[in-house]
Amino acid sequence: MPLILSQLNAAIAAMRALLPLEFPADAIIRRFFRDNAILGVQDRAFIAEVVFGILRHRFFLESLAHPVTPRALVLAYLVKYHGLNLREFDTFISESEKKWLAEIKAIKIDELSLSIRAELPDWLIEKLKINLSDEQILTLGLALQKTAPLDLRVNTLLAKRDEVIAILQEEGIDAQITPYSPCGIRLAGKPMINRHELFLSGKIEVQDEGSQLLGYLLAPKRGEMVVDFCAGAGGKALLLGALMNSKGRLYAFDVSEKRLSNLIPRFKRSGLSNLHIQRINDENDSKVKRLSGKIDRVLVDAPCSGIGTLRRNPDLKWRQSSQSIEELKTKQSAILAAAAKLLKPGGRLVYATCSFLDEENQDIISNFLNSYPQFTVLNSTELLAQQKITLDTGEFLQINPQQHQTDGFFAAALVRSG
């Protein structure tokens, strides 16, 4: 489709609204679309693709643009990554811009620095170099630059995966089973699934396959007492409820009223009757303490840097820093310690993050075990095998986009012995 001047101007305006990333990019773009309601579906799709494409390739694009302006970033992105021919810009750009864009088109990215090729900030590359070679960092960076697929979770209370796939395929939607999750479906492209009857009736939810695997690692049983300690908008809580066949008692805790309010309509669609949504002030809230020693299973999807989700949230490269990770580590340790007190002897806890940094993952677990010797690590590969999931990443669950086509996730399963 040829470039339209109005689309170009709208993309530049959206980029201007986005920078300097004072809020999450998806929230800024939603507000931009709300304020520009005249934009059509195709215009919105174009703008979203351009804006998030720029964020994925911003290090390279900013190394070329002098000065760095929203217009320069949009033009450079369209030429270098969107595949637009310079002739399509003839009536839109000046002669000097035409010359500059021709030079950009000729640049070979593989001759540039590791930070620019991997599209990762220097602070993150320094952290990754502790465990990874430059080649491994580049492989990871390139995987994180790609657009994430759209994964669905079938609500097994209301539907079977084969039935859902058949319905989607009959409608011309390319839907396949996910490689690991027994209830996952992966779609090609980005159909408007949130308007589909399967979604509106609660039979499917949008959820990355990696996130789904956390539920199978916790493996709650019917009739148990279970807590999702950092429930957020509740995707994992809904999965846990389905795995429990809505039998037993399931608590969804979170400090954010807004996030929990997003769970309420999903809960109503889900067919669950055993979910109890509760806002807490912090990890030491009285609502938490009254359950001490009573819970069979606890999921701690801890607040983290989120850098395992850079395919979906590329703005995190600028919104996180070494300092913010230090603050998160303190919070992660406190939440894990508080959540562990909920478990009865023999209970299982799964600690998880969407990060691939040891300091948010293995180091947190190691420090916890030093302070709480009554806990031991369970082998995640063996636990998943018990759920008929063949995925061997060693003692911990460690998955990433370049190997598993999921977001980057870490999880450790712990059992309380006494």
Positions annotated as catalytic residues are 354
DSSP codes of every residue in 256-292: -HHHHHHHHHHHHHHT-SSEEEEE-SSTT-HHHHTTT
Instruction: Identify the sign of the CA torsion 83, 87, 93, 96.
Output: positive
Phi, psi angle pair for 18, to nearest 5°? -75, -45
362-371 and 322-340 are packed helices; what angle lies between their axes, rounded to 10 degrees?
Answer: 40
Report residue 340: phi and psi, to 5°.
-65, -30
Find the Cα–Cα–Cα–Cα dihedral 58, 62, 67, 68, rounded to 10°: 10
Cross-strand pairs, 350: 299, 413
Q: CA-CA distance, 150 to 82, in Å (whole number)? A: 21
Whole-angstrom Cα distance, residue 229 to residue 360? 17
Q: Taking each helix axis from N to C terminus, what angle separates 70-80 and 5-18, rounded to the nearest 10 degrees?
A: 120
Residue appearing with tokens 């947190």? 364
Task: Select from 80, 78, 96 the least CA-distant residue to 88.
Answer: 78
Helix (H, G, I), strand (E, B) or coil at 412: strand
Helix 235-243 with 209-218: angle, nearest 10 deg: 40
Distance, CA of 213 to CA of 269 (rounded, Å): 22
400 three-class SS: coil
- Rounded to 10 degrees, what is the CA torsion of 362, 365, 366, 372? 180
Distance (Å, whole) CA 332 – CA 22: 24
Question: How far is 165 from 151, CA to CA, in rounded Å?
Answer: 12
CA 33, CA 27: separation in Å to the nearest integer? 10
What are the CA-CA distances from residue 83 to residues 68, 146, 162 (Å)?
21, 16, 38
